[in-house]
Structure 1
Amino acid sequence: MGVGINTLPHAIKELADIDAVASLPGFEEAGFDTAQAVLEEAAKFNEGVLAPLNWEGDKNPSSWKDGAVTTTPGFKQAFKEFGEG
């Protein structure tokens, strides 16, 4: 069972002490609101791009043949989108 997005804000605020991090020089914008926005966007990307690939990955897993990797259909595009932000 994974950690739900609703439990992460508490961990960021209390356990990681995000306010202390944001008080460090150069990290002033790394506060709770920024962390929350990153979590929300990561959840959207996971739900909209990565999660739908799970079934495809089960049916057509990546493979290694003759010195080359063939990835599951859709994985290359998903990682490209991830890199583009």
Structure 2
Amino acid sequence: MKRFLVLLMRKPPIDPAVIPLHQQFLASLREQGRNEMSGGFADQSGGAYLLRAESMQEALAVVHSDPAHTSGCWDVTVYEWNTHQ
């Protein structure tokens, strides 16, 4: 599987009800072994997560089902990430 860096930048106003839905979405991805890590930025401007998927098309399909995206409360950008270990 490939890795994809998903950046989420908040767009005001944020609906606070979306945050727990987004967190549940990330927890579900972790349970599936598809979310390696995630977290918010210290300045509260957004956050990021590292997604595992077979292709950019699959990664976009997953990300586009994230409540952060479907709510329209965040600008979401996905990058295929070539990590070095």
What TM-score do you get using the length of structure 2 for normalisation?
0.30
Q: Which has the higher helix share?
A: 1
What TM-score do you get using the length of structure 1 for normalisation?
0.30
